[in-house]
Structure 1
Amino acid sequence: MAALRRSGLGWVFVLPFLLVFAVFHLGPLLAGLGMSVTDMRNTDVASPLAVDPVGVQNYLRLADDEVMRRAALNTAVFVVTALPLTLALGLAAAVALNSGIARLPAAFFRLGYYLPHVTSIIGVAVAWKFLLEPEAGLVNRLLELIGVQGPAWLQNPATALPSIVVMTAWRSFGFDMVVFLAALQGIPRELYEAAHMDGAGRWQRFTSVTVPQLRPVILFCSVYSTSGFLQFLEEPLIMTGGGPLNSTVSASLAIFRQFGVGNYGYASAAATVLFTVIVALAVLQLRVGRAR
């Protein structure tokens, strides 16, 4: 009886979260899945039950849509390049802060590195858009000081997506730094002392002690960042509008545009595919990470 009472009390505390999750997450997810197999458009909102089912036609259209294919490729390139760059910057900053910087400067640097992560992405994107202006941007002005003619970063298909990758890594690595720093401070010093006594150098101690001890944290940051990067939307929307020549259009931006023009069924199918990819990659990363 006591165990049943404790279980009931636990459900009382969990119930508010379950209600919020059902209304704002599970409900829209199921609604989107249902719309993805219909021809629903914005004109059908008043009578959603009157739409016609189309089966998997919306999903088949995705394979023939050139913009969607380009968006999928851009998103894949973005994740593959931004993820390791963000993790590397976060780990490097954490190791530097953990290596003996005085307490007050360390707190200052932690705040400075983490601040972009909590700053509005719209504000950050607008600021970087001005920084990368070909004529008056600060980046090209600095390059002129060393005799280099900077390109039109966001107007050139070859440099637009890499520019967004760099901006995203700069904005995001502060979160990874904070997590890595907390984990580094939890590694027993005895492990480093034993490795030093065995003749291991600084790099060997890093690869043989630090990295293995950080594997669970690296896995967490990898899953967290991958899920976020697969949904990147505001960066290309604000900085390039998906151009030039669709070189920066992302999967989320392409879906956003389809919703904007009223193709709810088609957009829901694309969103369902993106959601499936996010879940599948998260499960794959967790399985591989846990196995190692």
Structure 2
Amino acid sequence: MTTTTDTPVTAPAARTTPAKRPGGRQREGAAWVFLSPWVLGAAVLTLLPMAVSLYLSFTDYDLFNPPRWVGLRNYTQMFTEDPRYWRSVGATLTYVVIAVPLQLGIALVVALGLKSMRRGRGFYRSAFYAPSLLGASMSIALVWRALFNDGGTVDNLLGTGGWVNRPGWALFAVALLTVWQFGAPMVIFLAGLQQIPTELYEAASVDGASRWRQFLSITVPMLSPVIFFNLVLQTIQAFQVFTPAFAVSGGKGGPADSTLFYTLYLYDRGFVASHMGYASAMAWVLLIVIGAVTAVLFRTSRTWVFYASEGDR
């Protein structure tokens, strides 16, 4: 006689969905409460003014009467009928090409010197950084104008006459003021240099590599992301330079429009001549140009910026 044992059939376990954490909605609401000042500030102080500026760029607006729609007239006048506009573009591009490489080069050299310094590094780092805090002020720009004016310190030392009164030299005086403010990129370079492993330099020294070869083969590639960061940041700031040119030229962009930078001419059109629609169009062109230049820098960075892993790109 055979006996069979019936094995109970168990039903498949039902899928369970993770239970929602209690109070999740409350935490999300609390997050939005804390973020609300930033969101409100971005909307009211950034997005709304940008939208109004875009609308005004298609109008004739003099700050006193209601804006009158003129379509693309401001843009066509800017590109085809305004020679001072193109002089401001030329002066700004010349300034960017001169000031940015000089500033970054001096910042890197000083950072290399501070890295190898054993004592007093903190003092010198603070001393070199101080001009970056003071250089953007109107008072320093006025002092700079006095230094490079006729009969000023530079004139007395070099006997070349006042730079700010000579069309071929005024722009260089403004560029030197920017170069003098190398403290901010210097601190960033110094932080990047301290992250480079010393073992790489020791191995290169054992292989007989000179200091110059170590700089080209180790320092520059390992520091390239920091160089790229400083290049983008300083280029954007250089396109927006205003205070030094305003102080050195007395707000006129002289002599002979040699310091008529883009933002200075924008200020002149908007707040001196009361052509706010035209100034708004200039502002949007500047925004597009800065965006395009930044995009080109990011695009070309793939060929010379070194990252630790390809996944970081």
| Same fold? TM cut 0.5 | yes
Checking the alignment, whether the CA contact within 8 Å between 1:85 and 1:169 is kept in structure 2 is yes
1:123 to 2:135 alignment: no
Kindly state the Cα deviation for residue 290 of structure 1 after the two structures are TM-superposed: 4.1
Q: Which residue of 1 aligns with 2:12?
A: none
- Matching residue's letter, 1:287: R
1:23 to 2:44 alignment: yes
TM-superposition CA deviations, 1:144-198 (whole Å, max 9, x none):
xxxxx22220000000001111111112x11110000011111111111122222
Kindly state the Cα deviation for residue 10 of structure 1 after the two structures are TM-superposed: 4.5
Which of residues 187, 212, 216 is equivalent to 1:207? 216
Q: Which residue of 1 aligns with 2:276?
A: 264
Q: Which runs of 4+ in 1 moved over 2 A?
A: 1-16, 140-143
How many Å separate the matches in 1 of 2:274 and 2:84?
Answer: 17
- Matching residue's letter, 1:29: M
Summarize the alignment of residues 159-170 of structure 1 with structure 2, pairs less than 5 Å apart: 159-170=169-180
Q: Which residue of 1 aligns with 2:309?
A: none
Which of residues 30, 55, 58 is equivalent to 2:71? 55
Kindly state the Cα deviation for residue 128 of structure 1 after the two structures are TM-superposed: 0.9
Kindly state the Cα deviation for residue 109 of structure 1 after the two structures are TM-superposed: 1.2
Q: 1:12 to 1:213 in 2, by over 3 A?
A: farther
Checking the alignment, whether the CA contact within 8 Å between 2:154 and 2:162 is kept in structure 1 is no
Summarize the alignment of residues 67-106 of structure 1 with structure 2, pairs less than 5 Å apart: 67-99=84-116, 101-103=117-119, 105-106=120-121
How many Å separate the matches in 2 of 1:279 and 1:20?
Answer: 23
How many Å separate the matches in 1 of 2:33 and 2:211?
Answer: 52
How many Å separate the matches in 1 of 2:33 and 2:69?
Answer: 40
Checking the alignment, whether the CA contact within 8 Å between 2:61 and 2:68 is kept in structure 1 is yes
Q: Which residue of 1 aligns with 2:54?
A: 33
Q: State the superposition RMSD in angstroms.
A: 1.7
- Matching residue's letter, 1:27: L
How many Å separate the matches in 2 of 1:13 and 1:219?
Answer: 34
Summarize the alignment of residues 106-145 of structure 1 with structure 2, pairs less than 5 Å apart: 106-119=121-134, 120-135=136-151, 137-143=152-158
Instruction: Work out which structure has the larger RCO, using CA pairs closer than 8 Å and 6 or more positions apart in sequence.
Output: 1
TM-superposition CA deviations, 1:108-152 (whole Å, max 9, x none):
2111111011114212211111111221x1222223xxxxx2222
Q: 1:11 to 1:222 in 2, by over 3 A?
A: farther
Which of residues 163, 171, 195 is equivalent to 2:204? 195
Structure of larger gyration radius: 2
Q: Which residue of 1 aligns with 2:256?
A: 245
How many Å separate the matches in 2 of 1:180 and 1:244?
Answer: 36
How many Å separate the matches in 2 of 1:88 and 1:206?
Answer: 14
Percent identity of paired positions between Structure 1 and Structure 2: 38
Kindly state the Cα deviation for residue 282 of structure 1 after the two structures are TM-superposed: 1.6
Checking the alignment, whether the CA contact within 8 Å between 2:164 and 2:173 is kept in structure 1 is yes
Q: How many residues align?
A: 278
With structure 1 as the length reference, what TM-score do the two structures score?
0.90
How many Å separate the matches in 2 of 1:280 and 1:13?
Answer: 34
Kindly state the Cα deviation for residue 280 of structure 1 after the two structures are TM-superposed: 1.5
How many Å separate the matches in 2 of 1:106 and 1:222?
Answer: 25
TM-superposition CA deviations, 1:24-57 (whole Å, max 9, x none):
111111111110011122222xxx4xx3321111
1:43 to 2:95 alignment: no
Q: Which runs of 5+ in 1 are unaligned?
A: 144-148
1:158 to 2:147 alignment: no
How many Å separate the matches in 1 of 2:160 and 2:184?
Answer: 30
Which one is further off, 126-135 or 80-89?
126-135
- Matching residue's letter, 2:142: V
Q: 1:193 to 1:255 in 2, by over 3 A?
A: same
Q: Which residue of 2 aligns with 1:14?
A: 35
